[in-house]
Amino acid sequence: MNEPGDGTRCVHAGLPEPVPGQPFLPGPVFAAPYHLDPWQGPAGAPNGYGRPDNPTRRLLEAAIGELEGGDCRVFASGQAAITGLLLTVLRPGDTVVLPADGYYTVRAFASAALEAIGVRVLLAPTAGPYPSLDGVRLVLLETPANPGLDVVDVADLAERAHAAGALVAVDNTTATPLGQRPLDLGADLVVASGTKALTGHSDLLLGYLATRSPELLGAVTVWRNATGAIPGAFDAWLAHRSLATMDLRLGRQAANAEAVASLLAGRPDVTGLRWPGRPEDPSYAVASAQMRRMPGVLSFDLGDADRVARFVDAARLVVAATSFGGLHTTADRRAQWGDDTSPGFVRLSCGIEDTADLVADIAAALDAAGPAS
């Protein structure tokens, strides 16, 4: 049989073998302690205590692992996953390279926590240039970067990092495992927020890490179990349920992003348009070679904060919200969160509305918003 397509993989990922009378996806198991074998104790069954053991969580990990092409551990949030990665891998005296234009809370954590324990933190733009990697313990990439959407050649940088003795981790939140598989490109680890496009319903917090290294997986598992950074059983079940529609959701979101980008490119009152699927975008050459599909997220600038507010207020289908990758189209003015962007910078996350309706609504809202102050 040929390799199944993305839709088939998403629908069947992590499901148990069919059993007559049982559901396709077993319901969530809510348990803190489980019954123990009175003679063998925890060695007699796979579940002993709810923090390290939960069958609902294991099914989700199997599903995400299939999609990423490695073994997976899920966390309570994307931030829990990425901080768990950093604190598992790094020790005092180590050097880490982080994206200067990636998720800003990672940089904030680095300055508040990593540097305080003696980790040297270097920042590099996603598109480069990168510093010498000699003596670096870990290079963390975020591609496409959030929110600027720059892209880096993962295979090239992984080769350079490994030659210098460094590990490479890739934040795959924006792309999702359907957009790219960093482990196939040479990365040692993948980390991501499952809150966003992976699950796509804006109703849960989730993070995960995937790797093909038993040693790294074991170290991360020990860290997660010791710190208790686990998602609840119901969130894990919701996430697994949501994976089944990821291929369909991403397809509509990408189509909407392409149409919206075409609209915005023709408007003189919009500047700084970025979407890596546009041939005119600085990241297009790398993205089109590396990525299997483009994200449903784009960014642009409306000049000032007041114009952004007028635009969102006038829209019927675009709402103001942070996060991205959900069913509803959202606009996030990143400067209000302390991100290093201009006051009028907008990250637009396209939902699954009908494309013609969304384009018409955005065009009308921009007309109603008028010029920047």
pLDDT of residue 239: 98
- Share the mean pLDDT of the chain: 97
Residues 237 and 251 grouped into a single domain: no
Q: Please answer whether residues 240 and 14 qualify as being in contact, where contact means their C-beta atoms are separated by less than 8 angstroms.
A: yes
Dihedral of CA atoms 10, 16, 21, 25 in degrees, nearest 10, equals: -40
Q: How large is the average pLDDT for residues 53-79?
A: 98
Q: CA 99 to CA 125: how far, in whole Å?
A: 6
pLDDT per residue as tens digits for the range 173-184 = 999 999 999 999
Residue 88 sits in a domain of what CATH number? 3.40.640.10
pLDDT per residue as tens digits for the range 286-328 = 999 999 999 999 999 999 999 999 999 999 999 999 999 999 9
pLDDT per residue as tens digits for the range 32-56 = 999 999 999 999 999 999 999 999 9
Residues 362 and 226 grouped into a single domain: no
Residues 110 and 231 grouped into a single domain: yes
Whether pTM > 0.85 for this model: the answer is yes
Residue 259 sits in a domain of what CATH number? 3.90.1150.10
> CB pairs under 8 A, 24+ apart, for 283-289?
283/127, 283/144, 283/149, 283/150, 283/151, 286/151, 286/152, 286/153, 287/144, 287/151
Residues 165 and 283 grouped into a single domain: no
Residues 171 and 24 grouped into a single domain: yes
Q: Which tokens hold the place of 209? A: 């890490």
Using a pLDDT cut of 90, give the percent of the chain over it.
98
Residues 237 and 280 grouped into a single domain: no
Q: Quickly state the pLDDT bin for 373 (edges 50, 70, 90).
A: confident
Residues 110 and 229 grouped into a single domain: yes
Closest CA to 223 of 106, 85, 116, 49: 85
pLDDT per residue as tens digits for the range 101-135 = 999 999 999 999 999 999 999 999 999 999 999 99
Q: How many domains does the chain have?
A: 2
Query: 89: buried, middle or exposed (CB in 10 Å: 19+, 13-18, 0-12)?
Result: buried
Which distant-in-sequence residues (6+ apart) come within 8 Å of 195 by Cβ?
Answer: 77, 78, 204, 205, 206, 207, 323, 325
Residue 1: inside a domain:
no
Using a pLDDT cut of 70, give the percent of the chain over it.
100
Q: Please answer whether residues 179 and 62 qualify as being in contact, where contact means their C-beta atoms are separated by less than 8 angstroms.
A: no
How many CB atoms lie under 10 A from the CB of residue 124?
20
Q: Which of 219, 243, 267 is the last residue of a domain?
A: 243
Residues 192 and 68 grouped into a single domain: yes
Residues 175 and 258 grouped into a single domain: no
Q: How large is the average pLDDT for residues 247-255?
A: 98
Residues 270 and 161 grouped into a single domain: no
Angle at 39 between CA 35 and CA 44, to 5 degrees: 55
Residues 264 and 123 grouped into a single domain: no
DSSP string over 8-42:
HHHHHTTPPPP-TTS-SSPPP---SB---BTTTBG
Q: How large is the average pLDDT for residues 4-18?
A: 96
Residue 1 has pLDDT above 90, yes or no: no
pLDDT of residue 190: 98
Structural domain boundaries enclosing 263: 246-369
Q: Which of 243, 259, 285 is the last residue of a domain?
A: 243
Q: Which of 218, 243, 268 is the last residue of a domain?
A: 243
* Cα Rg of the chain (Å, integer): 21
Residues 76 and 90 grouped into a single domain: yes
Residue 252: inside a domain:
yes
